[in-house]
């Protein structure tokens, strides 16, 4: 059965359809594609830090046994005071150090110092560690017995001194960052990061 529309409705439908077709044709009229122009494709890769950090450490079979050359009385993070406002950041740092098998404070401080001294050399590991040492949640207890303060002092030492000074400032750790970290993997990451947008989450 044919449906009969009143005249005003037909006029509105006709005008609406004509308007749609005319708009579409106008849009097509200004569309131009150059087939000879280069096409730039971008990729974004987000990788969890928990997966990335172990890859930047020395391989298990070839890793340097740091524990065998550190005195047993060396301090560990759990023996120091943890600022309540920075407990989350400190927990992250302790986990990162555990992935790198750095359990003693002397080598942790030396690593932070060297990362701060040459962040470009150790990117992206430097950014991962140093971003947790920003003083964003109020004052930090200024004491050699406070873990956050010790880490921040090591970072400041790196910012203000050449990387060679970190070994002199933290003589209890005879292992430099370039022997703790897997530098060939870091170089590959830096090359890929220069070509693609790669971020650590």
pLDDT in the model for residue 37: 64
Residues forming beta bridges with residue 44, ordered by sequence position? 197
Please, what's the largest Cα pairwise distance for the chain?
97
Q: Is residue 109 part of a domain?
A: yes
Q: Which of 81, 90, 75 is nearest to 134 (CA)?
A: 90
The total number of structural domains in the chain stands at 1
Q: Is the pLDDT of residue 23 over 90?
A: no
Give the per-residue pLDDT at 77. Answer: 95
Q: Which domain holds residue 91?
A: 47-200
CA distance 98 to 92: 10
Torsion on CA atoms 93, 59, 72, 141, rounded to nearest 10: -10
The mean per-residue pLDDT over the stretch 97-126 comes to: 95
- Asked if pLDDT for residue 191 goes beyond 80, the answer is yes
Q: Is residue 185 part of a domain?
A: yes
What does the pLDDT read at residue 114?
98
Query: Is the pLDDT assigned to residue 50 strictly greater than 60?
Result: no
Residue 95 scores a pLDDT above 90: yes
Task: Quick: pLDDT tens for 162-181.
Answer: 999 999 999 989 899 999 99
Is pLDDT of 150 > 90?
yes
What is the band of 17 on the pLDDT scale with cuts at 50, 70, 90? very low
Look at residue 124 and tell me if it is in a domain.
Answer: yes
The 3 state secondary structure assigned to the chain is CCCCCCHHHHHHHHHHHHHHHHHHHHHHHCCCCCCCCCCCCCCEEEECHHHHHHHHECCCCCCCCHHHHCCCCCCCHHHCECCHHHHHHHHHHHHHHHHCCCCCHHHHHHHHHHHHHCCCCCCCHHHHHHHHHCCCCCCCCCCCCEHHHHHHHHHHHHHHCCHHHHHHHCCCCCCCHHHHECHHHHHHHHHHHHHCEEEEC
- Residue 39 inside a domain? The answer is no
15 pLDDT more than 50: no
The reply to whether 94 falls in a domain is: yes
């Amino acid at each position: 059965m044919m449906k009969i529309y009143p005249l005003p409705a037909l006029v509105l439908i006709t005008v609406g359809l004509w308007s749609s077709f005319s708009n579409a044709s106008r849009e097509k009229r200004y569309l131009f594609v150059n087939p000879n122009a280069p096409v730039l494709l971008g990729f974004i890769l987000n990788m969890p830090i928990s997966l990335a950090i172990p890859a930047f450490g020395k391989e298990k079979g070839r890793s340097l046994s740091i524990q065998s050359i550190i005195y047993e009385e060396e301090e560990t993070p759990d023996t120091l005071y943890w600022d309540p406002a920075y407990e989350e950041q400190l927990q992250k740092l302790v986990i990162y150090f555990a992935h790198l098998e750095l359990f003693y404070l002397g080598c942790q401080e030396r690593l932070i110092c060297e990362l701060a001294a040459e962040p470009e050399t150790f990117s992206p590991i430097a950014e991962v560690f140093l971003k947790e040492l920003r003083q964003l949640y109020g004052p930090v207890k200024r004491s050699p017995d406070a873990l956050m303060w010790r880490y921040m002092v090591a970072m400041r030492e790196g910012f203000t001194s050449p990387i060679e000074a970190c070994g002199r400032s933290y003589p209890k750790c005879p292992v430099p960052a370039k022997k703790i970290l897997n530098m060939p993997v870091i170089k590959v990451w830096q090359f890929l990061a220069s070509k693609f947008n790669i971020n650590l989450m």
